[in-house]
Structure 1
Amino acid sequence: MQERKSPIQQLDFTLLFFLFCLMCISLVAIYSAASTEQYAVPASHFVQRQIIWFVIGTVLMVFAMIIDYEFFKNFSIPLYIGSMVLLLAVSFTPLGIERNGAQRWLGVEDLIAFQPSEFVKVFLVIILAHLLYTIMKKPREKSFKSDVVVVGKILAVGLPPFALILQQPDLGTALVILAMIAIMILMAGVTFRMLGLLVSLGAGFIAVLVWMHNNMFEVFNRIIRDHQLSRIYAWLDPNANIGGEGYQLYHAIQGIGAGRLYGSGLGEGVKTASGTIPEIHTDFIFTVIGEEFGFIGATVLLIVYFLLLYRMIIIAFTCNNSFGTFIVAGVVGLIVFQVFQNIGMTIGLVPITGLALPFVSYGGSALVTNMLAIGLVLNVNIRTKHYMFGEEE
C-alpha cells in the first residue's frame, strides 16, 4: 500500500534548513570579508548582491523542483548539446569575455555576463544520469568487456566538456567534471579490475607529465599553462613563493592558524580586516571563517555540509527510480568535490584552482548553479513513492 503525501509533505525541510544555515553563514562571512579598505564600496553592497543571487537561485531551485524530473530525462540530449554550444561560444565567438587571463565568461562586458561552465556541471549530471539509467535498465553481464563499453560511453559524454573547459583555462571546473565522471563510473558498478585499470592509467598520466616537465618542458607547457604551474610550485612550497602565486595561500594559512580554537571574533581577524588576502570574499572565504570563528566555527560549517550531504544520500537510497538515484549521486559528487577542493586549497592540502565554496562564497553563476542542483535533489525526493510494504516492482 502506498502512503499518499502531497508534494509539500514530501518536501525535505531538513535539507532546506541546512541550506538556509549555509546562506546565513555566507552573509556573515561576506560582510566581514568585504569590510576592508581594498574594496571601493561598503560591505553592505556585497551582502545585498549576495541576497539577490540567493533569491535568483531560489527561484531556479523551485523551477527545477516543480517540473517532473522525467522531463529532464527526455530533454537531456538537447541540454547537453546546448551546453556544448555555449562552451564553444565562449572560446570561438566575440561573446566570449576574457578576465584575468582566462576566457570563461559569455555576454557583454560591463553589462551582463555568466559562466557557462557552471551550468554545464548540472546539465552533465542529467545527461550522465540518463546514460546510466539507459545502461542499467538492461541486463548486463559482469565482465571486463562490458565494463569497457560502459566506461567508454561515460567518457565519450564527459570528456568533450572537460576538454573545452580545460582550454579556457579553468582547471578547477575541469577537475569537477572529472570527479563527476568518476562518481558515475562508480555508480555503474564496474568491476575492481576496471577501477584498478583506470587508477593505473591516471597515475601513469601524472607520471608522464612529471617526466615531460623534466625532459620536454615545451610540450609540457602546452598542457599545463604557466600560471597553473606557478600555483603547483606555490602549493609545494608556499614560503618560497610568497611574492607570487603563493601569496594568498601563505596568508590564508597564517590567518586560519591564528584563529586557533575560538577565533578572533567577527570583524577582528587580522588577515581579514587588513585586506591582506585579495578577493577574500570569493574563493578564500573559508579563511574568514577559520580566522574569526576558529576551529569551532570551521567545524560547525563542516558539520552543516555533512548533514546537508547526508540528507541527499538518504534521498538517493530511498528513491525507487534509478534515474533519480543517479541524479542525486551526481549532485552529491558535485558538491563534495567543490567543498573538498576549496577548503583543501585554503589550508595547503591541494593546489589553488579558483573553485568557490558552495553556498558560502560570494558570486553569481556558481551559487545559482548549486541551488539549481539542490532543486533537482528536492525534485527527486517529492516524487519518490513510499510504500508501507516494500517497494513497487
Structure 2
Amino acid sequence: MQTNNRLRESLVVIICILSIISCLAIFMAQQTNQYNTNFFRMQVVYIIIGFGTVFLLSKLNITFVRANILWVYLAMVILLVGILIPNPLVSTINGATRWYQFPGISLQPSEVAKSMFIIVIAHFAAKYERVIWKQLLITWSLVAVILLLIMRQPDLGTTIVYFVSAFTISILALKSTKLVITILASLVVAVSGGLYLVVYHVTLLEKIGFKSYQFRRIHTWLDPASDPNSFYQVDRSLKAIGSGTMSGNNSSSVYIPESHTDMIFSTIANQFGFIGASLLLILFMLFIHQLIIAALHMKNSFSTYVIAGFAMMFAFNIFENIAMTIGLMPLTGIPLPFISYGGSSTLGNMIALGTILAVIKNDDTSLSRT
C-alpha cells in the first residue's frame, strides 16, 4: 500500500511540473504576436479544471466500472458516432469532423474517450486471458469498431494511438510466446506492405477511404523537395530548434506555425535551448518509467494491462510529436501530452492520470484477481 501511494504521489508531482512547463511554453509562444487570443490564461483554466477532474476520478470505484463495462463502451461509441452525424454541435474544420462545438469551447471526443477505451480493452483482455481465441475475437472486435469510427472523422494520428495502446494490451495478455512472435512478425509485414502502398500505389488506399492529404505528409517527409509548402512547418521548426543553441535564444522568438499546440516542443527548444529540451525529455522519461514500475507492481492483471496501455499511449504520443518537429516522422495532429495547448487534450490527459491513480489505488480490490 505504501508503495502504491508513493507511485501515485510521484506521478502527480511529475504532472504538476509538466503543467507549469506547459503554461510557461505557451506564454513564450505568444510573444511572437501571431495570436490575438490569450492562450496562456485559457490553459491555466484548463489545467485547474483538469486537476479537479484528476481528484474526482482518483476516487473512482474500479470494481463498479468493470461491473458496468458495457455501458462504458456504449457511452464511448455514442460519443464517437455523434460527431459523424450532421447536427448543430458538429462542424467541419479543414475537411475533418473531430470536434463538438459548444458556446466558447470545443470538445474532441477521441481525446476524452482514450481512457474509456483502455479500460474496456484491459477488462476483456483480463477476463478472457485463459481462452486466447475468445480474448482476441472479443477485444479486437471492440477495437475495430472504435478505430473505424475515428478513421471516419478522419484522424489517422489518433487512430494509430488507439491501435498501439490496444496492441500493447493484447500482446501482454497473450500467454503464448509463439503466438506473440507470430503476431509481431505479421505486424512488421503489414506495416512494410502499407508503406509500399503509400509510396507506390497510393490510389488503392484512397479507394478504401483514406484521404490524399494524409499521404501527402508522408511523401513530403520522405522527399521534402517534392512539396516545399508542406515542408514549411517542419523547416521553421528545425530552424527554431537549431537557433535555441545550448541555453536558449534570448534575442528574439522564431515564428513557428502552431507554436502553442503541435509544435510546442520547438518553442521550448528555441526559448530554453538544448538544456531545457533535455530536461523536458528527462521528465517524460521519469513519467513513463513510473508507469512501467506501477504496471509491474500491480497484483492483478487488469491493473497491469490498464497502466501498460496508458504507458504505451503516452510514450507513443511523446515520441511521435517530438519526432515530427525534428523531421524524423511525418507531421500529424498529435499534441505533446501535458504540454500542448488545448482543452480537449488537457482534459483527456488528466482523465487518463485520474484513471491511473484510481487503478493503482483499487489494485487489491478490483473485480477479481484478473
Distance 1:315 1:89, change over 3 A: same
Aligned partner of 2:278 in structure 1 is 299
Aligned partner of 2:337 in structure 1 is 358
83, 93, 101: which one aligns with 1:99: 93
Task: With the length of structure 1 as denominator, give the TM-score of the two structures.
Answer: 0.85
Distance 1:24 1:216, change over 3 A: closer
The 5 A counterparts of 1:241-260 are: 241-243=227-229, 245-260=230-245
119, 123, 137: which one aligns with 1:152: 137
CA RMSD of aligned residues (A): 2.6
Aligned partner of 2:216 in structure 1 is 230
Q: CA deviation at 1:24?
A: 0.9
- Supply the distance in 1 between the matched residues of 2:50 and 2:166 (Cα, whole angstroms): 25
Q: Is the 8 A contact 2:122 2:306 kept in 1?
A: yes
Distance 1:238 1:232, change over 3 A: same
The aligned amino acid for 2:215 is L
Q: Deviations over 1:301-345 (max 9, x none)?
A: 011111122222222222223222222122112211111111111
The aligned amino acid for 1:104 is R
Q: Deviations over 1:140-189 (max 9, x none)?
A: 3xxxxx54443332211111111111121111110101111111112113
Asked if residue 131 in structure 1 is aligned to residue 110 in structure 2, the reply is: no
* Displacement over 6 Å in runs of 4+: none
Q: Is the 8 A contact 1:328 1:376 kept in 2?
A: no
Distance 1:97 1:75, change over 3 A: farther
- 2:114 partner SS: helix
- Supply the distance in 2 between the matched residues of 1:202 and 1:227 (Cα, whole angstroms): 24
- Supply the distance in 2 between the matched residues of 1:164 and 1:203 (Cα, whole angstroms): 24
Task: With the length of structure 2 as denominator, give the TM-score of the two structures.
Answer: 0.90
- 2:97 partner SS: strand
Runs (5+) with no aligned partner, structure 1: 141-145, 387-391
297, 311, 322: which one aligns with 2:301: 322
Q: CA deviation at 1:217?
A: 4.4
- Supply the distance in 1 between the matched residues of 2:74 and 2:213 (Cα, whole angstroms): 31
The aligned amino acid for 1:102 is A
Aligned partner of 2:80 in structure 1 is 87
Q: CA deviation at 1:346?
A: 0.8
The 5 A counterparts of 1:200-219 are: 200-209=185-194, 212=197, 217-219=202-204
Q: CA deviation at 1:78?
A: 0.8
The aligned amino acid for 1:310 is H
Q: Which range moves more in the overlay, 157-166 or 305-314?
A: 305-314
- Supply the distance in 1 between the matched residues of 2:125 and 2:133 (Cα, whole angstroms): 14
Distance 1:269 1:242, change over 3 A: farther
- 1:113 partner SS: strand
Q: Is the 8 A contact 1:26 1:359 kept in 2?
A: yes
Structure of larger gyration radius? 1
Q: Deviations over 1:15-55 (max 9, x none)?
A: 211111101110111001111221124xxx21110011001
Aligned partner of 2:45 in structure 1 is 52
- 2:128 partner SS: helix
Distance 1:188 1:48, change over 3 A: same
- 1:350 partner SS: coil
- Supply the distance in 1 between the matched residues of 2:114 and 2:18 (Cα, whole angstroms): 21
Q: Deviations over 1:223-242 (max 9, x none)?
A: 43121111111211234432
The aligned amino acid for 1:373 is A
- Supply the distance in 2 between the matched residues of 1:234 and 1:352 (Cα, whole angstroms): 9
- Supply the distance in 2 between the matched residues of 1:289 and 1:381 (Cα, whole angstroms): 32
Distance 1:224 1:377, change over 3 A: same
Q: Which range moves more in the overlay, 45-54 or 207-216?
A: 207-216
The 5 A counterparts of 1:31-42 are: 31-41=27-37
- Supply the distance in 1 between the matched residues of 2:145 and 2:71 (Cα, whole angstroms): 15
Distance 1:319 1:264, change over 3 A: same
- Supply the distance in 2 between the matched residues of 1:359 and 1:260 (Cα, whole angstroms): 24
Asked if residue 67 in structure 1 is aligned to residue 53 in structure 2, the reply is: no
Q: Deviations over 1:114-136 (max 9, x none)?
A: 11111221111110111122123
Asked if residue 189 in structure 1 is aligned to residue 160 in structure 2, the reply is: no
- Supply the distance in 2 between the matched residues of 1:214 and 1:55 (Cα, whole angstroms): 45
- Supply the distance in 2 between the matched residues of 1:214 and 1:318 (Cα, whole angstroms): 43
- Supply the distance in 1 between the matched residues of 2:148 and 2:189 (Cα, whole angstroms): 19
Q: CA deviation at 1:209?
A: 4.0
Asked if residue 220 in structure 1 is aligned to residue 205 in structure 2, the reply is: yes
- Supply the distance in 1 between the matched residues of 2:12 and 2:198 (Cα, whole angstroms): 47
111, 114, 118: which one aligns with 1:121: 114
Asked if residue 180 in structure 1 is aligned to residue 179 in structure 2, the reply is: no
Runs (5+) with no aligned partner, structure 2: none
